[in-house]
Every structure is written in structure tokens, then in C-alpha cells.
Amino acid sequence: MSLTVKDKTTVRLVFFGAAGVGKTALIQRFLHDRFEHKYKRTVEELHSNQYDIDGVKIQIDIMDTSGSYSFPAMRKLSIRNGDAFALVYSIEDPESFEEVRRLRDEILEIKEEEKLVPIVVVGNKLDLENQRGVPAVDILPTVELDWNANFLEASAKSGENVVGVFKELLQQVNLPSRLSPALRRRRETIPKDNLGVRKRPPMKKTNSCTVS
């Protein structure tokens, strides 16, 4: 909750996932459109951005966390304070998806009072298609049908679908539509090539229920 200005909306997006899956890289690509090859370990970093749209202040906090279970107390706090969660794994590392499962369980445990916690599961490193170890067809039903969360694949390296990750997160927290001009502006600063929004991997999804 914002404390003073009554027409101020603050939204906090939290990135979780095993160390090395590309959380920091996704955030850096989105905020600064750059990519770092060298790996630097993150402890915890908060990026706050203010948007002023038609006189309404909107603050979007992006919380970049350390990988996985190294700081349990910090993680619990991040969960409590988070409005929407990006659970990131790497498409070449099946174990990193198992971490996503564990993280989701913990989020639901801590946010027990809320029925539907906004979660977007992100398979990062889509540029490493030839090293893929996690087939999208295996993940999609789990995430979208069992978990009722969103699923997409992206690459912080190429920039593919990175904006899609943030769009999805913001859509899930029902930000006022006023925000969309700011997002649109942001999108314009990302190279056109990266905008081929590939919301989900190409595969058929049926909405019908096959259970009798």
C-alpha cells in the first residue's frame, strides 16, 4: 500500500529462479536493453521506476533476487511484498524447472490468503534451442492448466519476448489501462526484431477438458 499520495499505485514484480537462469539478464534487457555475457551473482536488487500518466503516479518495482534457496528469510519477505512473480528457469536445464515448482509451492504457502497469485513462468535462454532440455509441450499443461499461471519462453540474450514477460506480469496485476502508454513507449526503445511477440511456444492448446 502506498502511504501518502492517494492516487499513487505501486506494483512490485518479483523475479525468482535458480542461480544463473537469467533473472538479472531479463531485467537488464527490459530496463536498459543490454545484455551482459559475464555472470555476476546477485544478492538482491530493487529497481524502482516511476511513471506519470495523466497525472497519476505509477511506480513499478522490479525485484531481482538471488538464486533459489540461499537466503530464505529474504525470499520470504520478497514473497510477502510481491504483487506478481516471474518464476524463471532455463530451457536447457531441467533442474531449473524443478526449482520453479518448489518456488511456486513456497509462494502459495506464504500467500495462503490469496486464491490466485499472479505468476508468470518464464523459460529463458530461448536462443539456446539446440541445447534445449525442457520441452515446452511438457511445461505448458502443468503451468497453464494445473497451476492456472501464464507460460512463455524468452531470451534475454536476443531480446525475444522479453517485453512479453513484463506485459504479462502487469496484465496479471490489473494495472489501470492508463499504464499502457508508458509500456508502449518502453516498447519502442527495444529493437523491432525483438518484438515478434511469441507469447507461447508454437503448439496446439485445447481448451476442452478430456476428463470424463
Binding site for ligand GDP (CB under 6 A): 17, 19-25, 36-37, 39, 42, 67, 124-125, 127-128, 155-157
Beta bridge partners of 123: 89, 153
| Nearer to Mg ion among residue 27 and residue 107 (C-beta) | 27
Which single residue is written with the C-alpha cell 507469447? 199
| Nearer to Mg ion among residue 23 and residue 125 (C-beta) | 23
CB closest to ligand GDP, residue no: 22
| Nearer to Mg ion among residue 24 and residue 68 (C-beta) | 24
Distances from the Cα of 53 to the Cα of 93, 136, 151, 180, 182, angstroms:
40, 37, 29, 9, 7
| Binding track, positions 96-135, relative to Mg ion; x by CB under 5 A | ----------------------------------------
Distances from the Cα of 209 to the Cα of 6, 142, 201, 212, angstroms:
44, 14, 21, 8
| Binding track, positions 25-54, relative to Mg ion; x by CB under 5 A | -----------------x------------
Angle at 146 between CA 80 and CA 14, to 5 degrees: 25
Residue 10 lies near Mg ion (rule: CB under 5 A): no
Q: What is the C-alpha separation between 120 and 167, in angstroms, rounded?
A: 10
Residue 142 lies near Mg ion (rule: CB under 5 A): no
Strands 44-53 and 119-124: unpaired
Residue 11 binding: pick among Mg ion, ligand GDP, none (C-beta 5-8 Å cut-off by kind): none
Distances from the Cα of 74 to the Cα of 57, 64, 133, 135, angstroms:
28, 12, 30, 32
Q: What cell numbers appear for 147 in the block?
A: 497451476
Q: What cell numbers appear for 178 in the block?
A: 492508463
Q: How far is the CB of 39 from ligand GDP (least distance, A)?
A: 4
| Nearer to Mg ion among residue 23 and residue 104 (C-beta) | 23
| Nearer to ligand GDP among residue 20 and residue 201 (C-beta) | 20
Residue type, 193: D
Binding Mg ion (rule: CB under 5 A), the pick from 16, 24, 93, 121 is 24
Residue 29 binding: pick among ligand GDP, Mg ion, none (C-beta 5-8 Å cut-off by kind): none
Residue 65 lies near Mg ion (rule: CB under 5 A): no
| Nearer to ligand GDP among residue 19 and residue 108 (C-beta) | 19
